[in-house]
């Protein structure tokens, strides 16, 4: 069974700082990868997803993530964060071609100071 | 266009009781998935319903059961509640069966269950 690790549980940044949140998964086969965000008081929503093709994926609100197969990683990045990026971020993996059982990481809480 | 709705928003039960949570999918969606999110953890997949049948199931005991109705809405039932069942229960809807992993899931606001 696959597993997902998000190494940073809490991140605190100032506005305009660059962001990188780590996500590593354990699964030897083909995977579909996702980043979700949950803003305070709001529903969990999709930021971006990777299925195949260009390993650099661009999502909403200026976020991007890079799939590095050799490192089993799918790190989330944003060059300049804003106060409104304060939220909980979750990485998720689905093993492609197998049973549909998505596995989520435990999440990273990001606080951006204005 | 209504998104995914869940009811109730909060619920308090005691150990041993049974609970039913409800979910209405986003308009046009026919697939419903349920997740349990414990405090400080990511969502854990419970099961998925499509065409009124359970299609996939995560590592949850039989105390967790569900149902999908012809209008695609769904219920999650938990019997013999344990303290450890206290969590946020999320419903997500999408279009297509479990093999359609390319379909984006839309999540509801969740039902927060507290078991005393």
Q: Is the confidence at residue B44, as pLDDT, over 60?
A: yes
pLDDT at residue B97 in the model:
64
pLDDT at residue A101 in the model:
78
pLDDT at residue A30 in the model:
86
Structure tokens at B3: 């998104």
The pLDDT tens digits for A22-66 are 999 998 788 899 999 999 989 999 999 998 899 999 999 999 999
The reply to whether residue B42 touches residue A45, judged by beta carbons under 8 angstroms, is no
**Residue A89 backbone dihedrals phi, psi, to 5 degrees:** -120, 130
pLDDT at residue B101 in the model:
57
A 10 A CB-CB count for A21 gives 23
For strands B111-115 and B10-13, give the pairing: parallel
B44 touching A, CB under 8 A?
yes
pLDDT at residue A54 in the model:
94
* Band of pLDDT at residue B113, cut at 50, 70 and 90: very high
B98 touching A, CB under 8 A?
yes
pLDDT at residue B95 in the model:
86
Structure tokens at A57: 């994926």
A51 touching B, CB under 8 A?
yes
Tell me the average pLDDT across B102-110: 85
Q: Is the confidence at residue B17, as pLDDT, over 90?
A: yes
What sign for the dihedral angle of Cα B26, B41, B48, A57?
positive
CA distances from B108 to A41, A54, B69, B105, B111 (A): 12, 30, 18, 10, 9
Q: Is the confidence at residue B98, as pLDDT, over 60?
A: no
Q: Can you tell me the distance from the alpha carbon of A73 to that of A24, in angstroms, rounded to the nearest whole number?
A: 4
């Amino acid at each position: 069974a696959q597993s997902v690790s998000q190494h940073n549980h809490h991140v605190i940044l100032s506005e305009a700082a660059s962001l990188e949140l780590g996500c590593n998964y354990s699964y030897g086969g083909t995977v579909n990868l996702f980043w979700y965000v949950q803003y305070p008081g709001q529903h969990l929503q999709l930021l971006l997803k990777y299925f195949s093709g260009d390993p650099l994926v661009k999502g909403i609100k200026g976020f991007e993530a890079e799939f590095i197969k050799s490192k089993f990683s799918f790190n989330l990045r944003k060059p300049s964060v804003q106060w409104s990026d304060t939220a909980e971020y979750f990485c998720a993996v689905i093993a492609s071609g197998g049973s549909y059982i998505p596995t989520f990481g435990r999440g990273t809480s990001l606080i951006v100071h204005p | 266009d209504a998104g995914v709705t869940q009811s109730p928003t909060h619920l308090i039960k005691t150990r041993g009781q049974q609970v039913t949570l409800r979910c209405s999918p986003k308009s046009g969606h026919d697939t419903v998935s349920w997740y349990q999110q414990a405090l400080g953890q990511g969502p854990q997949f419970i099961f998925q319903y499509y065409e009124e049948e359970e299609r996939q199931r995560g590592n949850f005991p039989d105390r967790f059961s569900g149902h999908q109705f012809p209008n695609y809405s769904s219920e999650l039932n938990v019997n013999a509640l344990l303290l450890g069942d206290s969590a946020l229960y999320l419903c997500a809807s999408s279009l297509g069966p479990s093999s359609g992993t390319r379909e984006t899931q839309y999540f509801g606001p969740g039902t927060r269950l507290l078991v005393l």
